[in-house]
A = this chain, B = another copy of it.
Amino acid sequence: MPKKKLLVLAGDGIGPEVMREAGLVASWLERERGISFDITEDLVGGAAIDAFGTPLRDSTLQSAKAADAILFGSVGGPKWADQPFDNRPEVALLRLRGELDLFANLRPSIAFDPLIDASPIKPEIIRGLDVMIVRESAGGVYFGHPRGIETLEDGSQRGINTEVYTTREIERVARVAFELARKRNNHVTSVEKCNVMESGLLWKQVVTALHEREYPDVTLSHMLADNCAMQLVKKPSQFDVIVTGNLFGDLLSDLASVLPGSLGMLPSATLGARTSDGRLPGLYEPIHGSAPDIAGTGAANPLAQILSFAMLLRYSFDLEEDAALIEAAVAGVLASGLRTADIMSPGMARVGTRVMGEAVLREL
A142 touches which one: B120, B196, B199, B258 (CB < 8 A)? B196
Query: A79-123 toward B: CB 8 Å interface, digit per residue (1/0)?
Result: 000000100101000100000000000000000000000011110
Residues of B within 8 A of A66 (CB): none
| Cα distance A120–B229 in the bound complex, in angstroms | 13
Task: Say whether A349 faces chain B, with CB atoms less than 8 Å apart.
Answer: no
Contact A251 B248 (CB under 8 A): yes
Residues of B within 8 A of A196 (CB): 90, 94, 141-142, 250
Task: Give A153-167 interface residues, CB cut-off 8 Å to B.
Answer: 156-167
| Cα distance A70–B122 in the bound complex, in angstroms | 38
Task: Say whether A184 faces chain B, with CB atoms less than 8 Å apart.
Answer: no
| Cα distance A159–B167 in the bound complex, in angstroms | 8
Q: Given A85-B201, A226-B251, A229-B251, are A156 and B161 neighbors across the interface (CB < 8 Å)? A: no
Residues of B within 8 A of A199 (CB): 149, 159-161
Contact B159 A162 (CB under 8 A): no
Contact B198 A161 (CB under 8 A): yes
| Cα distance A40–B201 in the bound complex, in angstroms | 35
Task: Say whether A257 faces chain B, with CB atoms less than 8 Å apart.
Answer: yes
Task: Give A237-286 interface residues, CB cut-off 8 Å to B.
Answer: 247-248, 250-255, 257-259, 263
Q: Which 3 A-B pairs have the closest CB atoms?
A: A159-B202, A159-B199, A156-B167
